Amino acid sequence: FICEDVTYCLTTVGNAASVSLAVASVLNATCLPARILIRFEGEFPAFADFTLEQLAALAANYGVQFSVYVARSEGIRVARQFLLDNCATQYCWMGDDDVLMDYDCLDSFYRAFPLTELNGKVALLGGVKVDVNNRRGYKDYSLEPVTFAEVSQNHFYGKAHSLGRTLDQNSIGKFDTGNCIIDTKV
């Protein structure tokens, strides 16, 4: 089903191939956003990308609005703020161009919001985003599942892929916008 109050937002600096993978993961989910908003930065992107064209057509067939913006690069904070400012729905589902969302990620966010409300208001929820290889050389890197006692945004939980798990931000320390949902009305 389509979540009419959610926009999936991501930004990239010239990485159309990764954008295509990220968008494909969102469009192959059990719960779809009403809109997809992509911000390309830096050098003008090559829009003659067959995969991205196919995904835009698939989004249209599913009834998901697909928007692309091009801007000069001014850093990730400016890009994220642009996405928030141009999000036309209540919820901005922020993703990174190199993050593949699990099939039930948005559904997990939706189920978690009522459980986490504090005085009726929750500004954001952070989701898990797992690196499946260690190309960046993290010292604590592991693909071994962890327990909820070992809270981390960058690991699997239990036996199943848990990219859609939501975590209490107070347990994380540093927030990562690579997979989160933000209530733009709070």
Q: Read off the amino acid at residue 119.
A: N
pLDDT of residue 45: 64
**What is the pTM assigned to this prediction?**
0.81
Residue 164 — very low, low, confident or very high, per pLDDT cuts 50/70/90? very low
Per-residue tokens: 167: 């975590």
Q: Is the pLDDT of residue 181 over 90?
A: no
Burial code (b: 16+ CB inside 10 Å, e: under 16) for 49-62 equals eeebeebbeebeee
Please provide the DSSP assignment of 64-82 as one string.
Answer: -EEEEEEE----HHHHHHH
Residue 168 — very low, low, confident or very high, per pLDDT cuts 50/70/90? very low
Q: What residues form DSSP beta bridges with 36?
A: 8, 66
CA distance 83 to 92: 8
pLDDT tens track for 119-160:
556 666 776 666 667 677 777 766 666 555 455 555 554 544
Q: Is the pLDDT of residue 171 over 50?
A: no
